[in-house]
C-alpha cells in the first residue's frame, strides 16, 4: 500500500521531516522532526514543528507515532514538543540507542539521574519488528554504519532510511561518529537494495550538491543504478576506502553538543522552547 507522505524541509539543518499517513484511517506518523535552534543565542524555537502540527490538524489525521531514525547530531528533535500537543503519540527509536547513550552520556552533561537504558523513549524497535500505521504494514530495518543505532522505516512502499542514504548524487552518510563503521554501512545498504526497485525512498538530508535545488525523493532502483558511493558493481573495499577518505575531510556538525544533549533524552531540551 502507498501511504501519503508530506515533506517539510528545515533549511537551518538541511533536514527533511516527514508526515506519513494512512489516508483511509487517518493514522499518522512523524519521522525525524526538528526544532529551530540559534547557535549564537541558544534560543530554541518551534516554528518548524508548528508547521508540521498544523498540517496534521488540517488533514484531520491522528498522530500515533513520533519516529526517530537515530540520535541525530545536526538538529534538535521536536518529538517532545509534538508529544505535548498529541500526548497519545509514542516516541520510537531503534534499540541500539541504549549503547549510544552508554557511550556518549558522559560527554554531554546529561542529568545526574539519566539512565542509559532507552527509557526516555516510549518504544525501542528491534530489527525486523513489524507494526501498523492504520491499515498499512510497516517494518523496521536496522541499518548500522552511520551510527550504531540507525534504523530505517519501511511503511507500505515508502522507505525512510534516515542518514544512511542521501540522494544518488550525494551518496551516503558519514561513518566517523562513535560507533560508526563504513563496512557496516555498506552491508546495511545492501539490505535496503534488496527491496523492490520501485520502493520510494525519502531521504533525511539534502544539501543541493552542484547548486541544484534540494530534493527528497528517489527510489531503490535509482540508488542502485547511480548512487555515487554505493551502486551496483561497487565492492565493499572500494566503498570503505572512499567513505573513510571523505570522512577525514568533514568538520564536526556545528550543533552536535546541543543536539546530542537533547536527542539522547528523546528530545527533552534544556531551556524553554519558543
CB 188 within 8 Å of CB 145: yes
Question: What are phi and psi for residue 58, nearest 5 degrees?
Answer: -65, -35
Q: Which residues pair with 133 in a beta bridge?
A: 136
Predicted confidence at residue 120, as pLDDT, reads 97
162 closest CA partner among 268, 73, 231: 73
pLDDT beneath 50: ranges in the chain: 274
The pLDDT tens digits of the residues spanning 96-131 come to 999 999 999 888 878 888 999 999 999 999 999 999
Q: Which residues, other chains included, contact 111 with Cβ-Cβ below 8 Å and sequence gap of 6+?
A: none
Ordered by start, the domain boundaries in the chain are 4-263
- The C-alpha R_g of the chain, in whole angstroms, comes to 17
Question: How much of the chain, in percent, has pLDDT values that exceed 70?
Answer: 98
The pLDDT tens digits of the residues spanning 41-79 come to 888 999 999 999 999 999 999 999 999 999 999 999 999
Q: Which residues pair with 63 in a beta bridge?
A: 28
CATH domain 4-263 topology: Metallo-beta-lactamase; Chain A (3.60.15)
Predicted confidence at residue 89, as pLDDT, reads 98
Cell numbers describing residue 97: 540507542
Predicted confidence at residue 107, as pLDDT, reads 87
Cell numbers describing residue 266: 528523546
Predicted confidence at residue 271, as pLDDT, reads 59
Q: Which residues, other chains included, contact 36 with Cβ-Cβ below 8 Å and sequence gap of 6+?
A: 10, 12, 44, 45, 46, 47, 48
Q: How far apart are CA 247 and CA 174, in angstroms?
A: 6
29 closest CA partner among 172, 119, 156: 156
**57-69 in b/e burial notation, b at 16+ Cβ within 10 A?**
eeeebebbbbbbb
Q: How far apart are CA 51 and CA 5, in angstroms?
A: 15
Cell numbers describing residue 7: 515533506
Amino acid at each position: 500500500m502507498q501511504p501519503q507522505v508530506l515533506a517539510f524541509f528545515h533549511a537551518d539543518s538541511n533536514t527533511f521531516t516527514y508526515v506519513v499517513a494512512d489516508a483511509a484511517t487517518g493514522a499518522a506518523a512523524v519521522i525525524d522532526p526538528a526544532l529551530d535552534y540559534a547557535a549564537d543565542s541558544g534560543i530554541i524555537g518551534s516554528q518548524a514543528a508548528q508547521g508540521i502540527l498544523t498540517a496534521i490538524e488540517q488533514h484531520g489525521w491522528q498522530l500515533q507515532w513520533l519516529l526517530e531514525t537515530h540520535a541525530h547530531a545536526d538538529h534538535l528533535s521536536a518529538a517532545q514538543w509534538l508529544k505535548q500537543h498529541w500526548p497519545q503519540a509514542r516516541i520510537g527509536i531503534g534499540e541500539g540507542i541504549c549503547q549510544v547513550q552508554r557511550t556518549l552520556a558522559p560527554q554531554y552533561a546529561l542529568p545526574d539521574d539519566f539512565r542509559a537504558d532507552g527509557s526516555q523513549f516510549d518504544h525501542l524497535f528491534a530489527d525486523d519488528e513489524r507494526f501498523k500505521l492504520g491499515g498499512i504494514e510497516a517494518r523496521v530495518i536496522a541499518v548500522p554504519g552511520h551510527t550504531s543505532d540507525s534504523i530505517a522505516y519501511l511503511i507500505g512502499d515508502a522507505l525512510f532510511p534516515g542518514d544512511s542514504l542521501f540522494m544518488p548524487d550525494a551518496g551516503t552518510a558519514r561513518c566517523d561518529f562513535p560507533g560508526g563503521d563504513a563496512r557496516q554501512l555498506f552491508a546495511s545498504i545492501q539490505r535496503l537494495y534488496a527491496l523492490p526497485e520501485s520502493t520510494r525512498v525519502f531521504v533525511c538530508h539534502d544539501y543541493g550538491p552542484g547548486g541544484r535545488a534540494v530534493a527528497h525523493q528517489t527510489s531503490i532502483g535509482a540508488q542502485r543504478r547511480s548512487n555515487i558511493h554505493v551502486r551496483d558493481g561497487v565492492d565493499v573495499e572500494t566503498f570503505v576506502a572512499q567513505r573513510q577518505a571523505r570522512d577525514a575531510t568533514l568538520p564536526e556538525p556545528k550543533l552536535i553538543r546541543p543536539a546530542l544533549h537533547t536527542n539522547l533524552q528523546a528530545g527533552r531540551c534544556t531551556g524553554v522552547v519558543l
